[in-house]
Structure formats: structure tokens, C-alpha cells
Structure 1
Amino acid sequence: GWPSRVLDIAVSLLAAWVVIRIASRLIRNRAAARAVATVAWTLAALDILGLLDPTAELLDGVALTLGDTRLSALTVVKGVILIVVLVWAAVVASNLIERRIDASADLTPSVKVLLGKLVRIVLLVIAVLAGVGGVGIDLTVLAVFTGALGFGIGFGLQKVVSNLVSGLILLMDKSVKPGDVIAVSGTYGWVDSMSARYVSLVTRDGIEHLVPNEELITTRVENWSYSNELLRVSVDYGVSYNADPRKAIAIGLEAAGETERALKDPKPVCMLRAFGESSVDLQLRFWIGDPKNGISNVKGQALLLIWDKLHEQGIEIPFPQRDLHIRSPEPIAVATAEAAPGKKAE
């Protein structure tokens, strides 16, 4: 009777719900897992209730004819489901291939990123085309829609397309690559990663800037590690006019030799730069090989060493002074008006 039939349907729905729930937990992405569970539950419920075939016939009845091709709602639903599955498989496969590429020690970082992006794009295109062709849609029918869509995208997504193309150019010419130390638009840091749309630039403050690829192509970029990682650091200081500048220069070179990150080759150089208003101006120059570890910290260490050594030698570090000379006072003659006759002078 109908009670047992209702009970069988309820048990079947419950069993299907449990199986789908357990299976969906294998998908890490919560949104994707929820979507898969919803679709699977809908199909299972329609099949258990005996409404799957009538629903399919109803969707197949809603159709649009384009030339010799009949495009029904059922075909669209099947195509969407098939494309989603194939795209998911393409993403999983591209992630596995990218891991293998990243593990290769024979490829440069920029080549790894370029190959990974190309593999992902190719697999996604193949997945979409296979999904469309898999439901019986003639790909030539999509030519008109693709042309119109491309025309609209050309206006609405100019910046996005420009960033994508700029990203490919950066990966191919290797002007900017992961690990480089660059300065762009007043921001200094090292390139942490490169994506299809932007470059992740991490500063010494730990702030991550997402710089659009187009900006790296169209604006001036300082790449401190393009050909090598050598960078010259300049440290300015001054001594009193009463001090021996040769001795002050020797102190600067000694400080450079004790600075932790300063290289011995190329050799440090210290020179007299100018006769300033309050001091004899000197400049110490030395090279470092790790600019991504910061510039201000190594300059600060060198300045502190110079400070200590100048004080040890009794050499004065001057500061701006002004001498005020007051001329000796001169007497000022004061004349008083004579009183009128009959009046006293005030």
C-alpha cells in the first residue's frame, strides 16, 4: 500500500542524502562541495520519485533552433554539468603538473611560472571545448556568439586583458621574476609571486602590494637584481674643520670593513665630497650582495660604527652653528626742547 511506498521513498532519499553528504566531504572547496551535493541530491530525488524522465522531457521540449542545430534546455543543463566536471578535472591536473614543474631544479623561476600558466590555460580550453562538443553542440555555431562576446569583452575588460598579456610578456622576457628586488611607483620590495593579473611585491614592513602587470610594463621599474644582486650603498657623514680628513677617511674604510653585510670585493671607497658650511663632508661607499634584506639597516650599522670610531679618536662631528656678533654700544645723544618764557621745562 501507499504507507510502505512512502516509507521506501523516505528510506531511499535518506540513503542518497547520506551517501552524497559523505562523498561531498572529499571535496576541499566548500562552495564546490555544496554545489556538487545540491546537483547530485536533485538528480537522486527526481530519480527516486520517478520524475527524472518527465523532467528531462520537459527540458528537452524547451528548445531553440540555430541553423541545423537544435539547442534545448536539457542540452544546456547537460553541457553545464559536463563542463563543470571537466574544468574541475583540468584544474586538478594542472595543479599536479605545476607541482612537478616547481620541483624541477633545471628551470628558472620565470620559466616555471610561464609553463604552469600555459599548461593551465591549455587544459581549461580543452575542457570547455570537450564539454561543449560532448553534448552534441556544433562548435561552429558558437562562432557568432564568440565574436559578439569578444567584441563586448574588448570594451569592458580592457584592463584585465592588458594585464594578462603584460603578464605573459613579463614571463617571456624575464625582466621581472620571482625573487627579484624591484622598486616601482615609490614601492620597494622583492617579488614573492607572479600571477596572470598581478605581481605580489612584499616590502620590508611585511606589506604585500599587488602590482598590476600592466604597470610593470608601462612605467619605469628599478630592478636591483636583474643582471646581478650587487648594490652599492652610500653613507654620508661629516667631521669638523679642525680634524684631519685623511684620518676620517681611514675611519670610514675601517667601519666598512666591520659592517656585516658589506662585501670585501668590490672594495669600499671613502672620499671627500665637499667643504660644507659646518663640516668637511665625506662619503663612504661599499657594496652588498643581498639587497632584499634591506638597505636602511646596513646603513645604520655603518653609521653607528663611524660614530663610535670618531668618538674614540676624539674627532668632532659638527652640527650647524651660527655665530652672532654684537657691536659695542655707542652713546645716543638726546636733545630736549627749551622751555618757553614763563614756563618750566618738562
Structure 2
Amino acid sequence: MNETPLLNLITDFVNDFRQPAILWQALVIVACLALSWLLVRQLREFLHQRAEAAVVPATPETLQRTDSFIRILTPVLAAMLLGIAQHFLAKFQSVNLLSIAIPLCTSMALVRFGFYVLRRIFARHGDISPTMLLLEKIFTVVVWAGMALYITGLWPELHVFLESIVVPLGRNKVSVAAILQAAVSVAVLLVLAMWAGTSLDERLMKMPGLHTSLRVVMSRMGRAVLILVSVLVSLSLVGIDLTVLSVFGGAFGVALGFGLQKIAANFVSGFIILLDRSLTIGDMITVGQFTGKVTQINTRYTVLLGADGVESIVPNEMLISGGVQNMSLSNRMIWLGVPVSLGYETDLDVIFPLLEAATAKVPRVSQSKPPSATLVRFGADGLDVQIGFWIADPENGTGGVKSNVNRAIWRTLQEHKVSVPFPQRELRIVGTPPAPLAGAAEGESAPSGTQP
């Protein structure tokens, strides 16, 4: 009877359970797990105390990142302790149970590390989508399946079986094992490159010495370079000749000239916007029918957050080719006006200073440039007056401050008994109306179509 690795594993376990050495292995496993948990717990408390005692308090994201690191460190430390214990116990007894416990801890560390990397890339703001959960499940299944094959000793047999399956690609033949190896290499390097790009992006965004647009440009270019290098390295590891990419480059250029002109234009426009610094994140702009605060400048589009909470996605080409009103390009202060109608009997020399003083007390109204009241025109029903004022935070909207100014004006007019005119219409009848009929005057009327 031919013995298989799985059968040998089962036989070794049966023999170990007949000996008291299995108890020592179980005791060592429990001790290593408990020791790793205690050490990691002490490290976690130390890091949290250090973060709380820092001059700049740690953000919740930093604390969450620390906890994620601790969760990865726990199985790693347990695997290291088990490896040390296995090295010493192997001189005196069998260590089959430890040989299984170490790969299990390693798999747990690998799964947690994969979760950490995936969430850092695709769920930076804490929003975990169903696609993200699916990726985590697939990664978990792959890791544990691979570890099960490794423990049972079936991995070499599976590799030989996959090598025997050949797929024809033109004049060459490629095994399924080579295809899977290439796919895994490309996927791993791409994920690592995207993780490095995310870390670079966060570090650049926290550098106060650089302009916001320059930080975004460096972040985009750094991420693109990392992804490009990872793709080239992965293709080289697989064995693909990089000179073949020249053919694909020519085809891509033709496709770009015919069908991807708009995408390329938006991509280039995004870098132009960032480099010339005409728009930065936080600016309040108006482009076409869209008005809002710039929250994102991506490679293809720019996101505007309106005062009503609606986000507008504006193509970058539209920001380059069309006119844009930037309310905070060189000076963040903007002027607003509130119209008011006053009665003709109002003394403007008295009421104007009162309205200006009331407007100046409204929050968000600039004190460096005081409000001013002006007579616009002599209206049909009253005097048309406008109260003008300046604000320094247009990104917070204008509806709220206008409402507060109107309320302050209304209270001032009520306190000083100033009338606000409203349209009145009089109906005049020219000439003498005809006298009513006698029957109609007495409330009688003859029915139509009847004979008396």
C-alpha cells in the first residue's frame, strides 16, 4: 500500500496521542498563545498612552491603524514563539502538533495582514462595501485552502497536476500552474503598489509646507509610477518580454486618437488644473450651472459640494475650456446684497446707519469691510434700498447669512416703526352704472321661456 502525505500525517497524530509528549506540546501551544496575547496587550496599552500624552492628540484613524497593527502582530508573535519552542522540543520528542500550529498562526497573520491592506486601499474612510467583503472572503478561502494543502502535504501533487494541464497560446503552450503563478504575482504586486501609493498620499497630504495642488500632483504621479513599476516587474517575473508592449502601445495610441479623446483630455486637464494652481481643494467656484466647494480633484473629474449637500461631478475639460468663477482664488471675501423696500415717508438719513449697524452685528459678516446701505431706485410702491456686506467664508454658503441679515433688518424696522410698502390697487368705475330692473330690485325674476 502506497503511503500518502495525508496518511502519514494521520499516522503521526495517532502515534502522538498514544504518548504523553502530546500533553507537553499542547501545554507549549497554550503558553505561547497566552504569552503573545499578554505581550501584545501591554504593547497596545503603551502605544495608546503614548498617543494620548503626545502634544498633538492622535486621531481616531491613527488609533484604529494601531489596533489593526496589533491584531496582525498577535499571530506573528505566537508563530515566532512556537517556532522557538519547536526548535528546543524537537531534540527530546516529536513535535507534529507544533508543526501544524505554526502554519495555522502564520495563516491567521497573513489573513489579517491582507484585510489590513485591502481596507487601507479600498475602505480608507471606513465604508466597507459588499465588493470589499467579497474580496476579503475570497482572500480568506485562498489562504486557508493553500495552508490546508501545505499541512496535508498535497501541495506538490496539486502543482504537478496543474503543470500537466497545458493551454495553447499561439505557437507556445503554457501550463495552468504558470498562468496561476503569473496572476498571483501581478495581483500581489499591484495590491502592494496601491498600498504604497495610499501611504504616500496620506503622508503628502499632511505636509503643511507644500501647496495643496502640488501635494495632489505628487500623490497622483507617485501612485501612477508605483503601479507602472509593479506591472513591469510582475511581467518580467512571469517571463513576458517587455518589448511586446511596444505593439500594445501603438494600438493604445490609435484607440486614444479615435475613441478616448475625451478621457485623455480630462486626464491632461486634471494635471493642468493642479499645476497652474487655478483651483485648489476648498475653493468655492461656479462653472456653468454648478456652484459649490471643491472637495476632490481627480484625474478625470472634479467634485463640487453644493450648499444643499448635492455633489456635482464636473469633467476637468469643462474647467479648462470654459469660464470659471473662483470666489477664493486670491481673496476669499465676496460681496452680497439684500434688497429692502421702504415707504416714501421714511427718513433715509436716520434709518441707513441703523440698518448698517444691525447688519454688522450678524455673525459671518466681515468687520474689516463694514456694511453699506444704498438707495437703488424710486420704486412704484416705495424706495428700493440695498444693504451690501462682505463675508470671508463663501464655502459655508450664502443662504444662511442672508436670512440672518434679513431678520436683523426686520427687527430694526419694527423697533423704529418704519413701514414696509406693499402693492395696493384701487378700482374706480368711470360713469353712472345703469339702474337695476324693478323685478330685480324686489328680488323677483320671471322664468325664461314661460308665458304669464
Distance 1:330 1:212, change over 3 A: closer
CA offset at residue 276 of structure 1? 0.8
Aligned AA for 1:24?
V
CA offset at residue 258 of structure 1? 1.9
Residue 72 in structure 1 maps to residue 174 in structure 2 = yes
2:113: which partner in 1? 26
1:171: which partner in 2? 274
Q: 2:215 aligns with which of 109, 112, 119?
A: 112
1:87: which partner in 2? 190
Distance 1:290 1:106 in 2: 23
Q: 1:102 aligns with which of 205, 211, 230?
A: 205
Moved more, 88-97 or 151-160: 151-160
Moved more, 89-98 or 272-281: 89-98
Distance 1:201 1:294 in 2: 13
1:58: which partner in 2? 164
Distance 2:283 2:331 in 1: 10
CA offset at residue 147 of structure 1? 2.0
2:302: which partner in 1? 199
Distance 1:27 1:302 in 2: 55
Instruction: Give the number of the structure whose residues are more often strand, by fraction.
Output: 1
Distance 1:324 1:251, change over 3 A: farther
Distance 1:31 1:149, change over 3 A: farther
Distance 1:57 1:185 in 2: 60
1:216: which partner in 2? 319
**CA offset digits 1:276-327 (Å, max 9, x no partner):** 1101111111111111122111111111111121222222100111122234
CA offset at residue 178 of structure 1? 0.7
Q: 1:280 aligns with which of 378, 383, 394?
A: 383
Q: TM-score, normalising length from structure 1? A: 0.82
Q: What value does the CA root-mean-square deviation take over the aligned residues?
A: 3.3
Assess if the C-alpha contact under 8 Å between 1:25 and 1:33 holds in 2.
Answer: no
| SS of residue paired to 2:296 | strand
**CA offset digits 1:199-245 (Å, max 9, x no partner):** 22222222333333233233332211111101001111011112223
Aligned AA for 2:335?
R
CA offset at residue 247 of structure 1? 2.6
CA offset at residue 9 of structure 1? 6.7
**CA offset digits 1:157-210 (Å, max 9, x no partner):** 444333322221211122221111112333322112222232222222223333
Aligned AA for 1:197?
R
1:293: which partner in 2? 396
Question: Equivalent residues in 2 for 1:142-153 (5 A)?
Answer: 142-152=245-255
Distance 1:262 1:37 in 2: 57
Assess if the C-alpha contact under 8 Å between 2:356 and 2:372 holds in 1.
Answer: yes
Distance 1:280 1:205, change over 3 A: same
Assess if the C-alpha contact under 8 Å between 1:245 and 1:280 holds in 2.
Answer: no
2:352: which partner in 1? 249
Distance 1:314 1:24, change over 3 A: same
Distance 2:237 2:336 in 1: 63
2:90: which partner in 1? none
Distance 1:286 1:314, change over 3 A: same
Q: 1:313 aligns with which of 416, 436, 440?
A: 416
Distance 1:324 1:143 in 2: 86
Residue 304 in structure 1 maps to residue 407 in structure 2 = yes
Instruction: Give the number of the structure whose residues are more often helix, by fraction.
Output: 2
Aligned AA for 1:23?
L
Distance 1:71 1:218 in 2: 51
Residue 325 in structure 1 maps to residue 428 in structure 2 = yes
Assess if the C-alpha contact under 8 Å between 2:111 and 2:143 holds in 1.
Answer: no
Distance 1:3 1:136, change over 3 A: closer
Residue 268 in structure 1 maps to residue 371 in structure 2 = yes
Assess if the C-alpha contact under 8 Å between 1:24 and 1:34 holds in 2.
Answer: no
Any stretches of 5+ residues in structure 1 without a counterpart?
335-346
1:122: which partner in 2? 225
